[in-house]
Amino acid sequence: MFRRAILATALALGIAVTGAAPAQAIPPGDSLLVIAYYSNPSKTTLIGQQWAGCGQPSGSWGATSGYRNIFFTPC
């Protein structure tokens, strides 16, 4: 019983000290995020886009569902 308590404490302490790696986020402000939507899996027919970033208002045109490609473009 005592060994289990020590093992559980050591495990909890090890997890608390190790922590988690930070998540990879969308780059801040200096990139334009563009999501392109296509009508087919081969991505030959563009049917819409969404964009955000570079300190400009977000926008979109056309359909915003379907097969996607995500691009990061410098401002």
Using CA atoms, how far apart are residues 32 and 74, in angstroms rounded to an integer? 6
| pLDDT single digits (tens) 19-66 | 555 555 555 558 999 999 999 999 999 999 999 999 889 999 999 999
| pLDDT, average across residues 1-27 | 55
Beta bridge partners of 50: 35, 60
pTM: 0.59
32: its two tokens = 């334009």
Using CA atoms, how far apart are residues 15 and 46, in angstroms rounded to an integer? 47
| pLDDT, average across residues 12-22 | 53
Q: Which amino acid is at 14?
A: G
Q: Which alpha helices (DSSP H) does the chain contain, by range?
A: 2-18
